A and B are shown apart, each in its own frame.
Chain A
Amino acid sequence: MNRSKDLDTIAPDDNIVDSKPESVLVTEEKSEIELTPEIKDEPILKSEPKSNEKTPKKVVFPQKIYDILGHTKSPFSSFLVHPKVLTFPERDTEEEIYLALRPHWFNNFKWIAFTILMIFVPTLFRYLSFLNFLPLNYRFEVTLFWYLLTFLYSFEKFLSWYFNVFIITNQRVVDIDFHNMLNKHFAEADLDVIQDVSSSVKGIFGTFLNFGDVLIQTASEINQINFEKVPCPEKVIKLIRELREEEEQKQDEKGGKK
């Protein structure tokens, strides 16, 4: 019986069949290699495809990114790891979003508290008889107007938070901001132009809830990109460093080939 060198044990009397070192064990009936009748029934050792052969590209999300960032369950989270639905129009077809960040939820606390106060203002006015100088139907109008205004205020604040997104992809970092719903700010920097990444956690709540600013210094026209009040800044920095190292390695490999 012929045996392969790759097997752990080789019987002394067996013939040895050479196989390529990088080989994968597969069960197939047909093979390009002509097989002797003795080994036809045995599993065939098939070598891996050559580099110049065309194989369909599979985008696999790296496990090490999950190791650094963990997983996210809620779509309303401020820390979205590998979001499947979230995207932006400037995104390339092969670009993959690793992390999407919004300001920490605690930053919404102020406007939520203010909205709750605003909801109770008409009740307070009714109690204190402030609107008594108005006819009854006008009082209803004023109350409706006030509630609409309250809704508009909270809605605007929510939108400012929801659409204020920082994105880290496998190619670049992107900062999309909307100020007062009317002004859009878009900033991006490729991973290879990132020079320095730093973070700052300020205040009692920042320290307690672990959120802060991430400052990215770049060598491009936009000198710096600031991710404001994002959760887990240390994880963000770690991810950017990891991606930057990968990018450097890729560039070194390209340079080596040339």
Chain B
Amino acid sequence: MSPNFLTGDWLTYFLLIQKIFFILCSLFYFIFAAIVVRQTISMSKNITDKFNSIIIIFSYIHLILAGFLILSTIAL
């Protein structure tokens, strides 16, 4: 009979590792989202156009959602 690894302590370890992995991923994603905001502002400075402010707002919304992703992963 093969042992079931996803029961008892094994399951706890598995979920913990999974949680750490998710938190790390979302942290990296948040950093990348911050870089995107920085780059969008930089690009907007290089070419000024009508919709630059809207594009910057979108990049900030993306950053906020990335922050929400970290929080929700921690709350799991």
Contact = CB atoms under 8 A, between A and B. Distances in A.
Interface of A: 75-76, 83, 85-89, 135, 137-138, 140-141, 144-145, 148, 151-152, 155-156, 159, 162-163, 165, 176, 178, 181-182, 184
Contacts of B15: 135
B45 A89 contact: yes
Contacts, number: 73
Nearest to A149: B29
A163 B55 CA distance: 11
Nearest to A88: B47
15 contacts: A75-B51, A88-B48, A141-B22, A145-B26, A145-B29, A148-B65, A152-B33, A152-B62, A155-B58, A159-B43, A162-B55, A163-B43, A178-B43, A178-B46, A182-B39
A124 B40 CA distance: 32
Residue with the greatest number of chain A CB neighbours at <10 A, chosen from B32, B33, B46, B73: B46
B49 A75 contact: yes
Interface residues of B, number: 29
A138 B66 contact: no
B76 interface: yes
B47 A176 contact: yes
Interface of B: 15, 18, 22, 25-26, 29, 32-33, 36, 39-40, 43, 45-51, 55, 58-59, 62, 65-66, 69, 72-73, 76
A140 B15 CA distance: 15
Contacts of B59: 155
A85 B50 contact: yes
Contacts of A85: 48-50
Given A75-B50, A155-B59, A162-B55, A141 B39 contact: no
A138 B47 contact: no
Contacts of A76: 51
Contact of B39 (A89, A145, A181): A181
A181 B46 contact: no
A88 B46 contact: yes
Contacts of A145: 25-26, 29, 69
Contact of B46 (A137, A152, A182, A184): A184
A-B CB proximity, top 7 nearest:
A181-B39, A163-B43, A85-B50, A87-B48, A86-B49, A75-B50, A137-B76
Contact of A176 (B33, B46, B65): B46
